[in-house]
Amino acid sequence: MLASFAWLVALGGVVVLMSFIGAKKGSVLCKDVKVYIPGNQYFIDKEEIDNILQVKSRALIGRPVDGINIQDLESKLKANPFIASAKVYTDMDGIIKVEISQRQPILRMINLLDKDFYVDQNGLKIPLSDNFTARVIVANGFIEEPFAGQIDTLHNPVSVSIFKIADFIRRDSLWDAQIAQIYVNANREIELIPRVGNQHILIGNADSLATKFRNLEAFYKQALPKVGWDAYKTINIKYANQVIGVRNILTKKDSLMVKAKADSAKMKKDTSLTKI
């Protein structure tokens, strides 16, 4: 009986407390809206959040807190293509707090129609921003991925492979520093453009990425130091069990032309000496 009585007293206390909180909340007016946007990439800023929530038009400030539809505010924020998630809540002092999680682009893609867009870490297409330009790897060439200006998934298999390769590169400090661009050639095979060296790296697709990049690293360390960074015009790593280097024929030709010119100049010099 004592235990039951104690539970009844506790329950009654909770009911009284909730009633007090409800009464207090009903009398509290919204005093301010505070926005939190973590991270260092600002596709959307506080001013744009204020515009979405109509803060400056006094649509929120001065209104009773219990009369504000929090779910409706969250839905308005989530409709923005640069916002991944939004959490809105109020405190007992009449402050509306807004926590924003932005989409994180890892790739900028330019398709055959010259439309460019970002692809975020979840593989979703998002439009460019007027506020911020992300420093991410760029993919172009024969890319047939459509873009209608709104959040969408990737539809083309080549685009999905590009996304997987870009995601792999960004997670590895070595390749993130070395690979400058992704290119899709006329055969719809994927090539990588390095920052150092003039060669193209033919990777083909996103199969066996760990093995392909491990083979490429070994080629960089063992072969290129012996022949020079410009000795190959193409490094083919699309086959997981081998690396094929295609020699730069133009470099050889240029070298022969330089040698021929040098020999010709020497012959002219020798002829002049003979006449003297």
pLDDT in tens, 99-113: 999 999 999 999 999
pLDDT value at residue 171:
96
Q: Which of 40-49, 121-130, 167-176, 233-242 has the lowest mean pLDDT?
A: 40-49
Question: Residue 263: is its pLDDT beyond 80?
Answer: no
pLDDT value at residue 242:
87
pLDDT value at residue 144:
97
DSSP the chain: -HHHHHHHHHHHHHHHHHHHHHHHHHHPBP-EEEEE--SS--SS-HHHHHHHHTTTTTSSTTSBGGGS-HHHHHHHHHTSTTEEEEEEEE-TTSEEEEEEEE--EEEEEE-TTS-EEEEETTSEEE---SS-----EEEEES------SS-EE--SHHHHHHHHHHHHHHT-HHHHHHEEEEEE-TTS-EEEEESSSS-EEEEESSTTHHHHHHHHHHHHHHTHHHH-TTSEEEEE--STT--EEEE-HHHHHHHHHHHHHHHHHHHHHHHHHHH-
Question: Residue 225: is its pLDDT beyond 50?
Answer: yes
Q: Model confidence over 129-148: pLDDT tens digits?
A: 888 899 999 999 999 999 99
Nearest CA among 78, 95, 80, 92 for reference residue 35 = 95
pLDDT value at residue 275:
41
- pLDDT band of residue 257 (cuts 50, 70, 90) is very low
Q: Model confidence over 27-82: pLDDT tens digits?
A: 799 999 999 998 776 788 888 899 899 887 777 888 898 889 999 999 999 999 99
Q: Which of 7-11, 111-115, 239-243, 266-270 has the lowest mean pLDDT?
A: 266-270
The domain 26-102: what is its CATH number? 3.10.20.310
pLDDT value at residue 105:
95
The separation between CA 161 and the C-alpha centre of its own chain, rounded to angstroms, equals: 15
Bridge partners of 182? 139, 192
Is the dihedral angle over the CA atoms 90, 71, 76, 45 positive or is it negative?
Answer: positive
Q: Where exactly does CATH 3.10.20.310 map onto the chain?
A: 26-102
Q: How far is CA 158 from CA 153, 207, 211, 250, in A?
A: 13, 12, 19, 31
pTM here? 0.75
- pLDDT band of residue 154 (cuts 50, 70, 90) is very high
Q: 70-78 and 46-53 helices cross at what angle (nearest 10)?
A: 130
For residues 250 and 83, which has the higher predicted lDDT (pLDDT)?
Answer: 83
Name the percent of the chain lying above pLDDT 90.
Answer: 55
pLDDT value at residue 1:
62
Measured distance CA(247)–CA(233) in Å, rounded: 6
- pLDDT band of residue 186 (cuts 50, 70, 90) is very high
Question: What is the rounded average pLDDT of the residues 73-99?
Answer: 93
Name the percent of the chain lying above pLDDT 70.
Answer: 80
CATH classification number, 105-250, choose in 3.40.1010, 3.40.50, 1.10.4160, 1.10.1740: 3.40.50
Locate 167 and state its tokens: 């995601």
pLDDT value at residue 192:
97
pLDDT value at residue 58:
74
Place of tokens 């924003």: 100
Q: How high does pLDDT run on average in the chain?
A: 84
pLDDT value at residue 13:
56
For residues 124 and 254, which has the higher predicted lDDT (pLDDT)?
Answer: 124
Measured distance CA(255)–CA(227) in Å, rounded: 14
Strand order in the sheet with 83-90: 32-36, 95-102, 83-90
Q: Where exactly does CATH 3.40.50 map onto the chain?
A: 105-250
pLDDT value at residue 271:
46
